[in-house]
Amino acid sequence: MPSTSEIVGCNGAPVSKRNLFAPGSIASQYAIAVAVVAIATVGGFIFNPIIGPHSTAFIFLLFVVALALFLGRGPTLLAATLSAISWDYFFLPPVFAFRITHLEDAILLAMYFVVSVVLGQLTTRIRRQEAIERRREERATALFLLTQDLTESKNIDAMIENAASHIEKTFDAKAAVLLPDRTQRLKRYPYPAGAFTIDDRDRQVAAHVFAHGKPAGNFTLNMPVTAAMFVPLATSNETLGVIGLKFSDSCGPSDNEKELLEDFNQQIAMSLARLRLREVSEKSKLLSESERLSKTLLNSVSHEIRTPIAAIKSAVTNLADIKEAPLSASQKEMIGEIQEATERLDRVVGNVLEITRLEAGRVKPKINLCDVRDLIQVVLKDVKNELSARKLTLALAPDLPLVQLDFVLTQQALHNLLSNVGFHTPAGTSVNVGARVDGPWLLLTVADSGPGIPPESIARIFDKFYRGPSALAGGIGLGLSVTEGLILAQNGNIQVENRPEGGALFSIRLPLTRSVAAHKP
Amino acid sequence: MNIETSPKSKVLIIDDESQMRRLLRASLERHGYEVAEAANGKQGLDEAVRQQPDMVLLDLGLPDTDGIEVLKRLREWTKAPIIVISVRYHEDEKINALDNGADDYVTKPFGPRELLARLRVAERHRKVSTATTSFHCGHLSVDFETRTVKRGDQKIKLTATEYSILRLFIQHAGKVLTHGQILRAIWGTEDMEKTGYLRVYMAYLRDKLEQNPSEPTLLVTEPGVGYRLVIDEPVLH
């Protein structure tokens, strides 16, 4: 913990209007002392003829003791001296002379002086004790109130808010709380809590404080170039932030305030550390909880929808397989319809689940060295039926290397593109699938000689649920969004254009080289 | 197509969906199988012990235990083929099931024909003795004693690694081998970074063994999972 001894006030004495414990300035106290002795002298003139000069001494003594109750040691001593002189001069015979004729008067004067001084001293000491007690209590109260509010703060923002308001109230200063951002550098702007807006110079000083863990700025030994003082917010092992204080008067903090400030900082730093820890643990709990929830949801939705589809599919196939009572042609046709509808339903469900997974960021590519020819073969085998009446040509570069990509995601993307071509182009048209290296990319192309894409659709064709103006019935406009998602998940991109010779051209680009981190599946 | 097994093979279906069980039972019984059912993992394990099935159809999404756990427990004592049927269609889960001893994997919704084909392959594989001396499938024939590989009548020269991979596939004919399983068996490594080697060797093997290497029918890719040696009407001696 850095010591506040590095903070210096503009004078050592605990005086300033912030100082709750010593009202009035030194000069006015002496003036009061003189005035009160003068009043006592006037009182003496009134009572002396009645009670005699020796008893008048007690009136003086009364005033001196009363003064000692309110003034410091110096003024009390002055009052004692002045009153002794005044008594001797004005009341002790011979009056209006300092001369003392009787030995008893001399002893009395000496004793008066000693008694008044001792009484004054004692009273002041008691008062000082009392002041220290009071100060201690005030500190304890201030700390207690702070600690209470800090403990009750639910989060860091509320805690900082409370801390700033307590500092501003207790030290009569404007406060600014600066905490580091994720990169462990102090944020450019202080916490919104606190009325102290910092400038560039303040920020430099604050950064210095944060880096070195020692107070700096005004009233300190380090960089007293700004009007504000900056103190570190530190626990025993790390500096968590910086508090800036701009005191309302030009006088710095008293020793007492420095100590209190140190206590405040300790409490705030501890609360901050505690809340940080809590926030981290809560965040990780929340994250794993939401991850678990979305996984459960996806799994159960996919289970609940796919199971009945599986049942329909099985039942229909069983029906078609029954040999004991062969089906009529129209019955077979109906079964064909059911089968086709089931396939379509399954496809739509698959796309919806896939887009949900992609959007939830749940698709983590498994990047491996893959054989692009093999990949294209797998896709072509799968889409054989959809492209049955198309003239299919391949344009695979002979020198295709193995490429780092996610086999399954790329395969699904290409599958979707080719199914899409099968859906949107008339029978008899041609489809060309190409693969080659294009600069830093693997370029996969699907070109058809169909009607092409309406120009107004090109920009939106990958949007979710977008269906072109000439879209055929069937399909909910997810296939291409899923395709794009699958490619983007691998840091690739997909584009579409109309070929000058007619038809659409889809180009998928996937990076050939990946950072080391991406290699790990 | 119509293969009557005699005596009847017994299939245990472990699936919590009663409708699925009914439909599977209908398909299987029509094709000459004897069927036992279990509605959850615990019951499945009990039934497996009691009925001693020849094959198991296991759904991964069971209400009481994770299907993978059931799979592991079954594999502790039985060699009966286990085919996983599940709506979990992600490759990681397929790999997980296969690596934990499943023989095959069918994703719901599937057609009964597809399932029956897989069952026949698994069943045939079960009956094959490990001490085979030769293998014939389509145009491919392999003699393990003389280490000769032929495509039709043409003798094919394979490197040592290519031969080991082919042998591994023949030992597991019809079954999906995951990348990890192949890497472990051939290179003795778990390092998935080495899949590149595997891809290269698979391309070589196809060039040498397939009639048309650009449309492989023998060594097919199971996307994201591994490879499978397809056997239509294999004859093993």
User: Cα–Cα distances in Å, from B50 out to A112, B43, B46, B178?
Assistant: 117, 10, 6, 31
Distance from C-alpha of A497 to C-alpha of A477, rounded to nearest angstrom: 18
Token pair, residue A229, equals 């003082």
Closest Cβ–Cβ partner in A306, A368, A369 for B109: A306
- Which of residues A290 and B135 earns the better pLDDT score? B135
How close does chain B come to A303, measured CA to CA in Å? 6
pLDDT at B2: 45
Chain B stretch 70-99, residues whose beta carbon is closer than 8 A to a beta carbon of chain A: 87-89, 91-92
Contacts of B68 in chain A (CB under 8 A): none
Region B72-98 average pLDDT: 87
- State the best of A354, A366, A368 to mutate against chain B, taking most chain B CBs within 10 Å: A368
Residue range B10-127 forms a domain whose CATH class is alpha beta
Closest Cβ–Cβ partner in B19, B200, B223 for A407: B223
B224 pLDDT tier (thresholds 50, 70, 90): confident
pLDDT at A188: 60
pLDDT digits (tens, 9 = 90+) for B23-33: 889 889 988 89
How close does chain A come to B7, measured CA to CA in Å? 23
Closest by Cα among B14, B177, B163, B152 to B80 = B14
Closest Cβ–Cβ partner in A311, A406, A521 for B20: A311
What are the 10-residue block averages of pLDDT along chain A, 521 residues in total?
A: 42 39 68 89 88 85 84 84 87 82 84 84 84 86 88 85 87 85 70 76 85 84 81 84 83 81 88 86 82 75 82 84 78 88 85 80 83 91 87 89 90 91 88 92 92 83 74 68 90 91 92 59 38
pLDDT digits (tens, 9 = 90+) for B164-193: 999 999 888 888 899 999 999 998 887 777
Closest by Cα among B8, B76, B65 to B39 = B65
A393 — contact with chain B (CB < 8 Å)? Answer: no
Contacts of A317 in chain B (CB under 8 A): 27, 111-113
* pLDDT at B1 > cutoff 60: no
How close does chain A come to B138, measured CA to CA in Å? 20
- Which of residues A460 and B160 earns the better pLDDT score? B160
Which regions of B52-186 does DSSP assign to beta strands (E)? 55-59, 82-86, 104-107, 134-137, 140-143, 148-151, 154-156, 176-178
Helix (H, G, I), strand (E, B) or coil at A394: strand
To the nearest whole number, what is the mean pLDDT of chain B? 85
Nearest CA in chain B to A346: B109
Interchain CB contacts (distance < 8 Å): A and B: 100
CB atoms A369 and B110 under 8 Å:
no
Token pair, residue B71, equals 């799979």
B66 — contact with chain A (CB < 8 Å)? Answer: no
Closest Cβ–Cβ partner in B109, B179, B223 for A313: B109
Cβ atoms of A438 and A445 closer than 8 Å: no
Closest Cβ–Cβ partner in A311, A321, A373 for B19: A311
B2 — contact with chain A (CB < 8 Å)? Answer: no
pLDDT at A473: 55
Q: Residues of CATH 3.40.50.2300 domain(s) within chain B?
A: 10-127
pTM of the model: 0.59
B20 — contact with chain A (CB < 8 Å)? Answer: yes
CB atoms A378 and B195 under 8 Å:
no
* pLDDT at B101 > cutoff 80: yes
Distance from C-alpha of A198 to C-alpha of A244, rounded to nearest angstrom: 8
Distance from C-alpha of A234 to C-alpha of A214, rounded to nearest angstrom: 10
pLDDT at B163: 93
B27 — contact with chain A (CB < 8 Å)? Answer: yes
CATH of B134-236, one of 1.10.10.10, 3.40.50.970, 1.10.645.10, 3.30.70.20: 1.10.10.10
Q: Which residues contact A470 (CB under 8 A, 6 or more apart)?
A: A451, A454
Closest by Cα among B145, B142, B134 to B208 = B142
- Which of residues B228 and A460 earns the better pLDDT score? B228
Chain A stretch 351-370, residues whose beta carbon is closer than 8 A to a beta carbon of chain B: 366, 368-370
CB atoms A310 and B200 under 8 Å:
no
Angle B216-B222-A430 (CA atoms, 0-180°, nearest 5)?
A: 55
pLDDT at A10: 42
pLDDT at A166: 87
How close does chain A come to B37, measured CA to CA in Å? 17
B112 — contact with chain A (CB < 8 Å)? Answer: yes
Contacts of B223 in chain A (CB under 8 A): 375, 378, 407-408, 411
Cβ atoms of B12 and B38 closer than 8 Å: yes
Give rounded-to-5 percent helix, strand, coil for chain A: 55, 15, 30
